[in-house]
Structure 1
Amino acid sequence: MLFSESPEDPFALRHGASAVLDDHGIVVGWSAEAQELLGYPAKEVIGRAWQGFLIDARDLPVAQAAAEDAMSKGGWFGILPILHRDGRRVEMGFRARAVTRDGDGQEWLLVGAPAAEVIAWQRDRALLDGLYHRSPIGLVVHDPERRVLRINRAIAKASGIPADLPVGLPVREFLVDEDAGPAEERVRHVLETGEPLIFVEQSARTRHDPRRERFVSVSAFRMEDPSGRVLGVAETIEDVTERHRAQRRLTLLNEASARIGTSLDVTQTARELAEVAVQGLADYCSVDLLEPVTLGDEPAPGVVEPLVRVALQPPERRVPFQEGEMVLLLPESSQARCLTERRPILEPSLALRPEWYAMDPRRIEMASGLGVHSLIAVPLMARGLVLGIVSLWRSRHSEPFEDGDAAVAQEFASRAAVCIDNARRFTQQQSAALTLQRSLLPSAASDLPAVEVACRYLPASGEPGIGGDWFDVIPLSGARVALVVGDVVGHGIHAAASMGRLRAAVRTLASLDLEPDEVVARLDDLVSLLAAEREANADGDRSTDEGVLGATCLYAVYDPVSRNCSMARAGHPAPVLSTPEGQVTVLDLPSGPPLGLGGLPFETYEIDVPEGSLLTLYTDGLLQARNGDIDPAVERLCDRLSHPAEPLDRACHSVVGAMLPTDHLPSDDVALLIARTQVLPPENVASWQLPLEATSAARARELTSAKLDEWGLTELVFTTELVASELVTNTYRYAAGPVTLRLIRTQSLICEVSDTSHTSPHLRRALSTDEGGRGLFLVAQLTERWGTRYTHDGKTVWTEQLLPPA
């Protein structure tokens, strides 16, 4: 047979159009396929010259040139336009070959097919040839017994096996045993199911280079003949090692961004860095930080030791240097050069040297047992300062580090360095803020006649930082006491400083004996003023958070004489009252807006409190410490406060234990203040109503003298008579309505004169020529303290004197 009869060959005699020409170009044979393709029956063409009816006059030169070429070479192949019987021009591909006939003559056999089919056939042959000889993508053909029939040059180059080796090699001749199993299973699956595989990625190591791990993308399909008989499996294998490594490095960087810096703790951040490194880049990783960095201090420029190992992964005891150990580096070591030159050091092929571990033979022996052979040392730098170093090792079963690995190590080390520096600075700021917070909070409350108090303050966990929660117990005139709890919005040193400013303002306002709603209203004005100052000082820079942005506050005043408690709040949680009978109530006083909104009113809530009751004030961190669900938290708080006779320190401990998690600090500051109310005995309080007449001063002296003699305070009779007389006289001269004189004996002697006037007396220095104006001056000189407080019905001028020693 002269030509291939492959079904795909357009020149096969059973498919192509054929004709036979003699030496003069006369048609002597014409096939049925030619008749079907060109429309000429055999009887019309036999005996005619082929140029006369098959070639258009315009194409005659081209046809004549092809004929001459064929005669000179004994054959020809090409494309010619041929005339169809209906006059159409048909592009056809031809093969022409000279055939010797009996005798001394020769004939020409022409086989033709449509040009499109010929071109497609040529393209397929070129593609097949390219797949085996020029394609960069590997090609493997397996027989039905899963033996390798043929490989192309790409596979031959990668595997080290010549492409012309005899057929029948098993896959295990190409791949190491652990990689050959999945490859054979993949071929078996395609053979049995006929399901193709598309771009399946897997690792592969060849027997030619077993240490080098490659990643390939495999596609496979089952081969069948026209009858459906299985001929084998064809696989295309593309080496995607670089793409896979690039993707893995990118994934590692993304993971590093998500996992490094989740906390503001220096050691935890270093451990996160080491954990990320050993999961995708190295077999061993250590992080060594300069000692000042571990303490939250800023390292000195140019100083690169001493180093402390703060993280090691995996944490094996046989690895040189454990966490917490000091690390000493000799000048010639790779890590020392990394720190002094402030650049990454890559050693792909690393020979063990004594300077690795400060010439410690024991540590060198440990490293030798691990089989480490490649090192990357990267400095941890932030803001131009060296904070430490991260060291990455690969052991005997891994490939050496490459430049791409060093670039990735430097990238996530840079990110980690910023996180470590932020954690270091936060630790420093947290320590300063906590110190400031502690110094601004009150010390243990002294013995007060009105209440017995116990308090707790718990700072927030490290992440949010110190907040602005505070409490205070302020003695007031008339043996009363003010109980205050507040919460400044925000965390950090600015919140602590703002808390101190507000606490000082509350103490100043409390000394004026204002009503609770007025105290809160003036605090609201102050917060608004401070916020305005912050806006003005910021000058458009929002990078700092100075000043007060907002706050909440609860201010309560308890009178041990009347048992009355008046309070007002600005957006703060309501207090809890526990009566001696064990009844616990969350007081429903008007909430009021948070401080700083401005222009909204506040209301005073009053309640009579039985002696021995517990009044509990707290910040919202106490209720939100566990899961943020307020109602169950309030119920739990009330349950813990249902035993009012319990010692206050024990009650505070019980509340903290029930409300706060035991395994970690709360996410917000917590301030807790519990006060047990006390009532002054009736025999320690004396009150008289005096008429507004000239004899009232004398009457006041008589009553005062008699009561002080009864109390055994004879030493204070003269002074107290003078004080009472002067205050009553001023009332007679400048006020109106009835006058009330009251004496209270506590740790001091309190003298109060009340009237219905809101005019406040003023202290002045009388001239030597003045006949009066010295009374209030004498009162101020003879007493420890004095002042004026206003009520809805008038005012009260009060004084305090220290009791004589017992």
Structure 2
Amino acid sequence: MAPGTSATPWDMMPGRIPLGVVVVDGNGLITHWSSGARRLFGPSREEAVGAPAAELMPVAGALVVRGRDSDIAGDEPMGAYKEFEPELDLRTVPAAYPTAGRARIAAPERGVGDVLWWAYPLVGPGAGRLLVLAADTAQITGFEIADERIAPGFALHTDFPDAAALAGGLPEILPNMSTAESGRVVDQLLELGYPVLEISRQRRVPVTPDWGVPQRVARMARRGSVPYQEGPREGDPYGQEDVYGQDDPGGPAEHHPVALAVEHDLEYAAVRERLEFLNEVSGRIGTSLDLARTIEEVSAAVVPRFTDVAGTYLREQVIAGEGFPDGPPDARTLWHRVAVEHNDEPGRWDDVIPVGESMPFPEQTPFFRCMTTGQPVLVERITEELGHAIAAQFEKRDIRPLITGRSMLVVPLKARTVVLGFMILLRHADRPVFNDMDRVTGAELAARAGLVLDNARMYTHQESVAETLQGSMLPQVAPRMAGCEVATRYLPGTRLGRIGGDWFDAIKLPGSRIALVVGDVMGHGLNSAAMMGQLRTAVQTMAALDLPPAQLLRSLDDLAQRLGEHYLATCLYVVYDPVDSTLVISNAGHIPPVLVRAGDGRGELLDVPTGAPIGVGGVPFEMAGFAVAPGDRLVLCTDGLVEMRGEDLGVGLAALCESAAHPAASMDAACDGIIRTLGGGARKDDVALLMARLSGIPRSDTASWELERTASSAGRARRLVRDQLAQWGLAESADTAELLVDEVVTNAVRHAVGPYVGLRLVRSGGALQCEVSDDEHTMPVLLEAGAEDEFGRGMRIVSRLAAGWGAARTARGKSVWFEQTLPRGLAERPLHQ
């Protein structure tokens, strides 16, 4: 029995009662047997667990002999239970009501003596159905009344003063349970009645356990450093059901057999409890590599079992997922408060200590000492002076009422000797203070948490690098091109840092044509992404040469074999001519495209020869042509979108056709609908999706001429362009267009060898495109013309005035094109009929 702090009847009790704790399951078999139970009743833990409780403990009334109704009456329901005589030899199960008793027993270590016991029926999850607390009456001292007058009983905890303190200490007598389970059991015990000693009708004393002496004091006493003192164990927040002691009868501690046994039991139970706690915490943290989730797990793991308040602070570089912070922290280092977990009243800490705040810590504070030394800092009680010093850091907020009088432990969160952050742990004033063992436990806890946080930090860093790399390699496709509207989506996978080898592209070609590309490098990770970047660059370079699709894939396959044997990829290359409304497609092992017809709204897979993947080598590639109509939509994607676990690829392709045909308000909405239908789940593979609305260019928006290669061809070209632009209502842009056409045609006339030069104008979506073709394969280049040079300025003028220009080889020679941006008002004018 523990002395109280007020003048109450039980304050007269000078001693404490060591308790044994036993848990019995629904079949009357023992599932938990504390060392205190072994001292009282004799059998060891190994012998007791699994044995019938009625055979090992004198708990008459706590266990009831019952049998099935079918044993005596076949017409009653199966599974019901009823009282029977013991001679039926049926099983014993816990009673459904609390019981208590006193019995005289003989145990090997005790001889013959009396035992008091209290039994509580348990309900809810778990195998335990009966909790039994037992005590030796020989340990009750200080009463003049005969022991026979002392009996076990129950009383509501509200019958006593300081009821909250009694209820808070009740978990200490329970076996090792989780916080949630012990809370459930405590609620049941308080509802059924607190265990008491009935000294007389007027004197009822609540039972509290005795945990013996603090280990630090006991070890020092054995060395002769301090006198042996009996008392409660300081700073034990967990409740050790297997620790026992009694009043000191005197004598040196090292010769005191009970004290030595107590010390051994204390150390065993305390170390075991902390190891179990750390093991439990290790299992609860690190379930995710998300940094924010990891911080929440670490905070929730220590409150309320180890501490009442846990505040976590991290350095800025850690939160950003960057590399290790440069240099050791100092008084100027900003620490970000990333989490505050507590079991105080809701909202008590939120306004005073808000999450997300950044602040430095002065050198004289315990926090600065922790972050610079990398060692835990223990403050048994925060005094008024220290509380004022800490509170001075928080402007316009007084946190002294929250921290003064509490015990504090500051533990560093380290990884490879670098301090990433620290945790401030606080206990309520009515809870035992942090001690040396808690310091060690906190340091080990912080070390494990620091490792988990560092893993999350590195993952965040790698993920950021991967996403940056992936984003840099994916093109910025213009949403509107000549006769075509394009929308794209990329979804990273979950393998190897969320990076893969899928890509898409849309490339302008001569003659107002567009190349639409989707590819997928086999494999995942940085190597695949690097290969993807090389192949994508190669496709863009070859597309600028205006190679036919099959020849382009042939050249890309040769390049992949030269780069290395591991370069394997699938690729789909489509050339769209918006003037002729045709598609020319070549395929290298990729899934076929889907064409959604504007006429009937149906989606169909285009019959394109599959071909072999890029890098296989020695396999020819074929081309297939298709006629399209304005408004048709072409959908290209990688296999990560249509592959479904346990399903044939055809099922995914059919779903793609169906979802692509679903009407949508815009191209972006259509892409989102496909992703939502097929790619919304967690997919291991990355996904690339390209959708193009094939709007086409009407013949009335194009004009072409064949010019004789004479000195007057440039002048005729200027007149044709001016007249055509006037007809289109674009006369205001004619001056610039004439100048640019004159330079390009003059260059063609001067260097070509054939009799004719081709000229073509295309008006499409706010831009004017001009293309000049001839039979000379030599490509134009920019030259530096001196002050006395007569030639060399033409293409430089084109590069300065045009929105873009380029050149490509053709079957006959070459084609040089430029694009001129039209003023907004002119571009939106209707055509003259």
Contact 1:330/1:358 (8 A) holds in 2: no
SS in 2 for 1:214: coil
Distance (whole Å) between structure 1 residues aligned to residue 468 and residue 769 of structure 2:
35
Q: Find the counterpart in structure 2 of residue 576 from structure 1.
A: 594
Contact 1:572/1:619 (8 A) holds in 2: yes
Contact 1:570/1:591 (8 A) holds in 2: yes
Residues 731-767 of structure 1 deviation map (CA, whole Å, 9 limit, x = unaligned): x9xxxxxx9978564533334468xxxxx844699xx
Q: Find the counterpart in structure 2 of residue 748 from structure 1.
A: 769
Match of 1:390 among 419, 423, 431: 423
Q: Find the counterpart in structure 1 of residue 335 from structure 2.
A: 307
Shift in Å at residue 270 of structure 1?
1.6
C-alpha distance 400-677 of structure 1, shift in aligned 2 (>3 A): same
State whether structure 2 residue 225 is matched by structure 1 residue 269: no
C-alpha distance 453-249 of structure 1, shift in aligned 2 (>3 A): same
Q: Find the counterpart in structure 1 of residue 636 from structure 2.
A: 617
Q: Find the counterpart in structure 1 of residue 453 from structure 2.
A: 420
Structure 2 length as normaliser, TM-score?
Answer: 0.56
C-alpha distance 207-656 of structure 1, shift in aligned 2 (>3 A): closer
Shift in Å at residue 679 of structure 1?
3.5
Q: What letter matches 1:311 in structure 2?
A: A
Shift in Å at residue 395 of structure 1?
4.2
C-alpha distance 456-325 of structure 1, shift in aligned 2 (>3 A): same
Contact 2:531/2:567 (8 A) holds in 1: no
Distance (whole Å) between structure 1 residues aligned to residue 305 and residue 557 of structure 2:
56
Shift in Å at residue 414 of structure 1?
2.1
Distance (whole Å) between structure 2 residues aligned to residue 136 and residue 723 of structure 1:
104
Shift in Å at residue 173 of structure 1?
9.6
SS in 2 for 1:318: coil
Q: What letter matches 2:547 in structure 1?
A: L
Match of 1:288 among 310, 313, 318: 313
Q: What letter matches 2:484 in structure 1?
A: V
Shift in Å at residue 387 of structure 1?
0.9
Distance (whole Å) between structure 2 residues aligned to residue 781 and residue 526 of structure 1:
36
Shift in Å at residue 286 of structure 1?
2.5
Q: Find the counterpart in structure 2 of residue 513 from structure 1.
A: 546
> Which piece of structure 1 moves more, 567-576 or 381-390?
567-576
Distance (whole Å) between structure 2 residues aligned to residue 701 and residue 173 of structure 1:
118
C-alpha distance 417-799 of structure 1, shift in aligned 2 (>3 A): same
C-alpha distance 644-416 of structure 1, shift in aligned 2 (>3 A): same
Q: Find the counterpart in structure 2 of residue 410 from structure 1.
A: 443
Q: What letter matches 1:350 in structure 2?
A: R
Shift in Å at residue 676 of structure 1?
1.6
State whether structure 2 residue 386 is matched by structure 1 residue 355: yes
Match of 1:787 among 808, 817, 821: 808
Shift in Å at residue 367 of structure 1?
3.6
Distance (whole Å) between structure 2 residues aligned to residue 397 and residue 624 of structure 1:
60
Q: Percent identity?
A: 32
Residues 439-485 of structure 1 deviation map (CA, whole Å, 9 limit, x = unaligned): 54444527533422233445568993455543321111222111123
Distance (whole Å) between structure 2 residues aligned to residue 804 and residue 402 of structure 1:
77
Q: What letter matches 2:769 in structure 1?
A: S
C-alpha distance 721-465 of structure 1, shift in aligned 2 (>3 A): closer
Shift in Å at residue 382 of structure 1?
1.6
Contact 1:265/1:462 (8 A) holds in 2: no
SS in 1 for 2:505: strand
Q: Find the counterpart in structure 1 of residue 376 from structure 2.
A: 344
Distance (whole Å) between structure 1 residues aligned to residue 211 and residue 280 of structure 2:
34
Contact 2:477/2:505 (8 A) holds in 1: no
Distance (whole Å) between structure 2 residues aligned to residue 177 and residue 719 of structure 1:
96
C-alpha distance 782-275 of structure 1, shift in aligned 2 (>3 A): closer
Distance (whole Å) between structure 1 residues aligned to residue 793 and residue 170 of structure 2:
106
Q: What letter matches 2:550 in structure 1?
A: D
C-alpha distance 776-332 of structure 1, shift in aligned 2 (>3 A): closer
Distance (whole Å) between structure 2 residues aligned to residue 456 and residue 343 of structure 1:
49
State whether structure 2 residue 452 is matched by structure 1 residue 453: no
Distance (whole Å) between structure 2 residues aligned to residue 327 and residue 171 of structure 1:
59
Contact 1:557/1:565 (8 A) holds in 2: yes
Shift in Å at residue 666 of structure 1?
7.4
Shift in Å at residue 341 of structure 1?
1.9
> Which piece of structure 1 moves more, 740-749 or 554-563?
740-749
Contact 2:569/2:615 (8 A) holds in 1: yes
Shift in Å at residue 251 of structure 1?
4.3
Point out where structure 2 has 5 or more consecutive residues left out of the alignment: 1-37, 49-55, 61-100, 116-133, 155-165, 176-184, 189-206, 213-230, 245-261, 392-396, 727-733, 782-790, 800-804, 827-833
C-alpha distance 782-288 of structure 1, shift in aligned 2 (>3 A): closer
Match of 1:205 among 204, 209, 212: 209
Distance (whole Å) between structure 2 residues aligned to residue 333 and residue 422 of structure 1:
29
Distance (whole Å) between structure 1 residues aligned to residue 669 and residue 457 of structure 2:
37
SS in 2 for 1:672: strand
C-alpha distance 613-267 of structure 1, shift in aligned 2 (>3 A): same
State whether structure 2 residue 349 is matched by structure 1 residue 321: no
Q: Find the counterpart in structure 2 of residue 115 from structure 1.
A: none
SS in 1 for 2:810: strand
Residues 671-682 of structure 1: pairs in structure 2 closer than 5 A: 671-682=688-699
Q: Find the counterpart in structure 2 of residue 126 from structure 1.
A: none
Residues 208-262 of structure 1 deviation map (CA, whole Å, 9 limit, x = unaligned): 87776333499xxxxxxxxxxxxxxxxxx99976555555544444444444333
SS in 2 for 1:215: coil
Residues 540-579 of structure 1 deviation map (CA, whole Å, 9 limit, x = unaligned): xxxxxxxx97554332111224333122344544322111
Residues 227-246 of structure 1: pairs in structure 2 closer than 5 A: 245-246=270-271
Q: What letter matches 1:505 in structure 2?
A: A
Question: How large is the RMSD of aligned CA atoms in angstroms?
Answer: 5.8
Shift in Å at residue 506 of structure 1?
1.8
Residues 421-446 of structure 1 deviation map (CA, whole Å, 9 limit, x = unaligned): 34334444544554454454444527
Q: Find the counterpart in structure 2 of residue 567 from structure 1.
A: 585
C-alpha distance 274-571 of structure 1, shift in aligned 2 (>3 A): farther
Shift in Å at residue 417 of structure 1?
1.7
Distance (whole Å) between structure 1 residues aligned to residue 670 and residue 481 of structure 2:
19
Distance (whole Å) between structure 2 residues aligned to residue 293 and residue 353 of structure 1:
34
Residues 79-90 of structure 1: pairs in structure 2 closer than 5 A: none
Distance (whole Å) between structure 1 residues aligned to residue 490 and residue 174 of structure 2:
65
C-alpha distance 720-710 of structure 1, shift in aligned 2 (>3 A): farther
Shift in Å at residue 675 of structure 1?
1.3
Match of 2:240 among 206, 214, 221: 214
Distance (whole Å) between structure 1 residues aligned to residue 795 and residue 148 of structure 2:
121
C-alpha distance 491-146 of structure 1, shift in aligned 2 (>3 A): same
Distance (whole Å) between structure 2 residues aligned to residue 217 and residue 628 of structure 1:
59
Q: What letter matches 2:402 in structure 1?
A: M
C-alpha distance 721-333 of structure 1, shift in aligned 2 (>3 A): closer
Shift in Å at residue 510 of structure 1?
0.7
Match of 1:477 among 471, 496, 510: 510
Point out where structure 1 has 5 or more consecutive residues left out of the alignment: 1-129, 186-202, 219-236, 533-547, 691-695, 733-738, 755-759, 766-774
C-alpha distance 472-721 of structure 1, shift in aligned 2 (>3 A): closer
Residues 103-152 of structure 1 deviation map (CA, whole Å, 9 limit, x = unaligned): xxxxxxxxxxxxxxxxxxxxxxxxxxx99999999999859664244566
Contact 1:278/1:285 (8 A) holds in 2: yes
Q: Which structure is larger by alpha-carbon Rg, 1 or 2?
A: 1
Distance (whole Å) between structure 1 residues aligned to residue 820 and residue 614 of structure 2:
41
SS in 2 for 1:324: coil
C-alpha distance 214-259 of structure 1, shift in aligned 2 (>3 A): closer
Q: What letter matches 1:147 in structure 2?
A: A
State whether structure 2 residue 103 is matched by structure 1 residue 147: yes
Shift in Å at residue 160 of structure 1?
8.8
